[in-house]
Structure 1
Amino acid sequence: MRAVPRVLNRVLIGLVGLVLLVIGGSVLAVGLGLDPPSWWIHDSRHDVLLSDAERTRWRDEDWWWPVVIAVLAVLVLLALWWLAANLRRRRLTEVLVDTGDGEGALLRGRALESVLTSEAARAEGVQRSRARLTGRRLAPEARVRLRLEPHVDPGTALDDLTTQALAHARDSAGLASLPTEVRLRGVKHGAERVS
């Protein structure tokens, strides 16, 4: 299951929160004695949300209860999916290192990310780097972002990253492979006036 994109997640949470705030606040205001507008669902503080006639209107129809149950089931499944997507860890917290004695050791994911980031940043022409581990602890994957100086050849920077930082990380963690997604970005300098 892919994680819900951050922007979509925030928009959905904001919309749900706004709807709940407006409905709850208006019900509270009517309950406290304020006069609601003529189009509002409540008429007075003693009004009910659904009258007996509204509640029993569709009860005798054959399609009513299956539709209600199906809609509620879909809403529950969507809410559970959303909750699982938000609670899922996006970062790898630890990597299992084969020590050769059959036991293994755990390496912190942040420690490996830090080493990858600092070693990638030391390469010539790299202004800034950022590494992140994902995947499973037995089969980690890396995502590396490099911000390159304008004069640097992207192919050379990628080759340096592969043969140095990634190779060192893979070898030190005893991994057979370390699949990596690399994003390269060039630094944009503003125009300077020469006199």
Structure 2
Amino acid sequence: MQVKEEKFECFSETERLVIRPLKKDDYENWLHEFENRNPSQHRHDQGKIDMSECTLEWFHNLVDQHQALARTDTAHVFGVFRKEDGIHIGMIDFSTLARNEFQWGRMGYNIHNQYWRSGYGKEAVKGALTMACNHLKFHRIEAHINLDNTPSIKLAESVGMEFECLRKGFLYEYDEWTDHFVYYKNFH
């Protein structure tokens, strides 16, 4: 697996994927794949999304926001692209929870549902975890997962993340405070 540094950026290549920050010229590819999502498969899958406000200008602002977040080490947001044809198949992000003696971050991942059941999620998360360790210099990455999100739990386990605990009333979503499982991976 290759990891490269660029100005405020890093990317990773796996066997079938390139994981890198979005660029302004990704707009049409990015929009097309969001617009071609299948209907929702379960509660935690957004399925089809109204993309009408996602204009070219909106997207350029989004890319600028991602770059600003990376420069301040607040968050690092990556697109997931297939090597064979450059198609955008999903997103992965890392949020910095604490630095200094902790080097601790949170990971989120989402593969467009039209690309599920192809092993892309596992491959993308593994590649992204390599970046988290080698480029972003995290020691610990957590995934916070809804209790009923079985596909996400299976994905976390399949890449070697370990179950740590249940956090009660951890995140406000679905109009209530929800419990989450915490899965983690330590690198050093």
Structure 1 and Structure 2 fold alike (TM over 0.5): no
Q: Which has the higher strand share?
A: 2
TM-score (norm 1): 0.29
Q: Which has the higher helix share?
A: 1
Q: Which has the bigger relative contact order, CA under 8 A and spacing at least 6?
A: 2
